[in-house]
Amino acid sequence: MLILTRSRRIRRALRIVRKQIPTKDWRAIASFVEWLRCESGWQRAGLMSELSKNGGGLFPLYDPNVPPRDQKNPRGQVRFALPICRLYSDKALIGLVAHELAHAVRAARLGAGWYERMDRRYLHEERVADIMVSRWGLRSQIKAMRQEQRKTVVPLLYQQEPHIMQLLYKRVAKDEEAVRERFSRTLATQPRQD
Ligand SMILES: [Zn+2]
């Protein structure tokens, strides 16, 4: 597993979690997860492209040259959303990092079709991951994560969502404007064909 983030809080949480994870589970994580990285900006998710409220996630890492339907057992990648991680205390962040790694242990065990199977039974898998984290000896950290998620992080994100979405749309509009400008400049420098 490659650690592709310089976030000191995530790296610190990872060091603490690593010490708690039994060797067998750590081996499963290290061979199943290709990399762990962070997104620095807000993310959108779901059919309606709403603001993602998740601080982290385990996702399949598909080979872009092969249709996903032909990749039944892709390796995994763990991604954290830094703007959301910042809303959690250090203690809860340890719980969050452990939770995502517990998903990876589970996915490695499930094998082929892991992502679809876990996605279908989302709430069940959430509980399974939390129980595994508790067994690793991080019960108070996972409890802190759940408590902060319910009481502060998610309510705050819902409250701030219109403002954050406006910022996101502005960024998209600015990117589109830049593409349009570059495109019109390219057209202007091309010889006219009439
Ligand atoms: Zn989860």
Closest CA to 73 of 127, 23, 117: 117
CA of 63 to the centre of ligand 1 (A): 23
Sign of CA dihedral 27, 30, 31, 33: positive
Closest CA to 87 of 121, 51, 119, 125: 51
- pLDDT reading at 176 higher than 70: yes
Sign of CA dihedral 125, 128, 130, 133: negative
pTM of the model: 0.88
In this predicted model, what pLDDT tens digit does every residue of 86-104 receive, in sequence order? 999 999 999 999 999 999 9
Query: What pLDDT, on a 0 to 100 scale, did the predictor assign at position 194?
Result: 62
CA of 129 to the centre of ligand 1 (A): 7
Q: What is the mean pLDDT of residues 129-133?
A: 98
In this predicted model, what pLDDT tens digit does every residue of 73-87 receive, in sequence order? 999 999 999 999 999
CA of 42 to the centre of ligand 1 (A): 18
CA of 172 to the centre of ligand 1 (A): 29
